Amino acid sequence: MAGQNWWRGAVIYQIYPRSFLDTNGDGVGDLPGILARLDYIASLGVDAIWISPFFTSPMADFGYDIADFRGVDPLFGTLADFDRVLEKAHALGLKVMIDQVLSHCSVDHAWFQESRQGRDNPKSDWFVWADAKPDGTPPNNWLSIFGGVAWTWEPRRGQYYLHNFLSSQPQLNFHNPEVRAAQLDNLKFWLDRGVDGFRLDSINFPFHDARLRDNPPKPAHLRTGRGFSADNPYAFQYHLHNNTQPENLGLLEDVRALLDRYPDAGALGEISSEDSLATTAEYCTPQRLHMGYSFELLTADCSATYIRATVEALEAKMTEGWPCWAISNHDVQRAVTRWGGGEDAAMARQLLALVCSLRGSVCLYQGEELGLPEAEVPFEALQDPYGKAFWPNFKGRDGCRTPMPWTGADDAGFSSAAPWLPVPAAHRALSVEAQERDPASVLHAARAFLRWRKTQPALVQGTIRFLDAPAQVLALVREHAAQRLLLAFNLSAQACEWSLPAPATLLDVPGLPSPAVEAGVLRLPPRGVACALLAD
């Protein structure tokens, strides 16, 4: 994937630093831990790493509340440690993307500390401040994703400030051109340091409706969405005014203009809006983001019908841009649990192959190559404020954030101290050490498939179309130049048959068991995968 447009079709490995590897014995992963495991990551056959926030932060939201956009939090190491990660990753042929959180910061950031002091200082208009209604209540009905009102009173100014997430994450005012320029300059700092691109967190959130209009109510039967249940009041509204504003397009064009000044830098946007597919298509154009992903495949529905409809809907809307797909990350329940109910090696192999067979780039979350299920974290060990607020209906995000199991030891080879989250025994049994010893492991299958994928132009760059098949089978064709690949995924736990629509030659795909074809009938085992070369 070296050279021009490296990101197009790339497999990007997400590292959650707190949970990757602890080298200084404080129970929290760090940048030297990433450095120590870069050879392992490169061995997987991925093209890039995405490192979740490691910036200076009070850690109210575990790094997504940034107090210094250019500083490394001592918890993770130093700026020199980051430079060493960057240098070694590049030496191994890995591109490096880092998280950037443009829309908000921490209450500890110097900008907010100054802004909150009064209405007449140089930073007074750098955040979204608003007067109370005559009865003292907040200026409108906007709600926080993490539950409750999206406004907090600041007595020093006698005003409310907006926060779309935690109250300790005040919303920056992008209607102020100085804020826009400052955040672009922060991006430039990291580009000058040598990063290859950014994963832009909640990139549809920077602008808000300047008129502060109320959001309209949402009917009860439609109260579902990203990472929250129907009992979260955030689901009670259509979020038309607190994010995804038209002015955001100009910001994305400014970001792209900056990135275009650097050799082949790329940007991946995280997009969560009322119509995320339409927003993704609008945001991913040659003048805006290089690629984007939304949460449509991070839901509970894993049927062939749903996956096909979702991908086809984006394909119909995205006429210019490049998609990116993920089925697991640090915000949602791990896929083998969410879609399969628990540990299932066959499903883990299949899901990795599936997401890597869709048109676009791919984000793989650490541990996905091991087939890790969701961890059960008891309430007394919870760290996530979101989970604490909504327990037990929603247990938060800690279950997908537990430390990476490197060995089967009690500490999982993660830390010499008690880890910040417990490592379950089920994860230790699936450790890297154990799977390295087992030729039939998910890890070996993941490596084999990812290396094979690189050799298939149709999977990396090709078009996509879906075929009608039995209800439990997702069937698609990827095509590039003279290569036409048919892929079929039996998403059920029962064997099935499918009469192939055209003559095809089955390929032996490394890392996946070989299905059988007889007289044009494909026989797929439970969770089976078939790949065939279609005749001209």
pLDDT by residue (tens digit) across 312-340?
Answer: 999 999 989 999 999 999 999 999 999 99
Mean pLDDT lowest for which of 203-207, 252-256, 440-444, 501-505? 501-505
Q: Distances from the Cα of 530 to the Cαs of 108, 344, 359, 524, in angstroms?
A: 53, 19, 17, 7
End-to-end alpha-carbon separation of the chain, Å?
28
pTM exceeding the 0.95 threshold for the entire prediction = yes
Mean per-residue pLDDT, 306-314: 98
- Quote the pLDDT of residue 2: 46
- Give the amino acid at 380: E
Q: Which of 47, 65, 201, 331 is catalytic?
A: 201
Question: Helix, strand, coil proportions of the chain in percent (round to 5)?
Answer: 30, 20, 50
Catalytic annotation present for 270: yes
* Residue 441: predicted pLDDT: 98
Q: Which two tokens stand for residue 390?
A: 């909504």
Residue 48 and residue 96 in contact, taking contact as beta carbons nearer than 8 Å: yes
Nearest to 367 by CA among 446, 458, 266, 277: 446
Going from N- to C-terminal start, the domains of the chain cover 11-103+177-452, 462-534
Contact indicator for 402, 430 with CB cutoff of 8 Å: no
Q: Say if residue 227's pLDDT is above 70.
A: no
The string of pLDDT tens digits covering residues 348-381 is 999 999 999 999 999 999 999 999 999 999 999 9
pLDDT above 80: residue 231 = no
Please, which residues bridge with residue 502 across strands?
none
Catalytic residue, candidates 270, 296, 315, 398: 270
- Can you tell me the mean pLDDT for 262-282? 95
| β-strands 529-534, 504-506 pairing | antiparallel
Q: Classify domain 11-103+177-452 by CATH number.
A: 3.20.20.80
Nearest CA among 199, 12, 189 for reference residue 95: 12
Using pLDDT thresholds of 50, 70 and 90, give the confidence band for residue 488: very high
What does the pLDDT average to over 93-113?
98
- With the C-alpha atoms ordered 192, 195, 196, 198, is the resulting torsion angle positive or negative? negative
| CATH code of domain 462-534 | 2.60.40.1180
Model confidence over 134-147: pLDDT tens digits? 999 999 999 999 98
Q: CA–CA separation, 330 vs 19, rounded Å?
A: 10
3-state DSSP of 32-49:
HHHHHCHHHHHHCCCCEE
User: Same CATH topology for 11-103+177-452 and 462-534?
Assistant: no
- Residue 1 clears pLDDT 50, i.e. is over it: no
H/E element, 214: none
Q: How many alpha carbons lie under 13 Å from residue 80 in its C-beta half-sphere?
A: 0
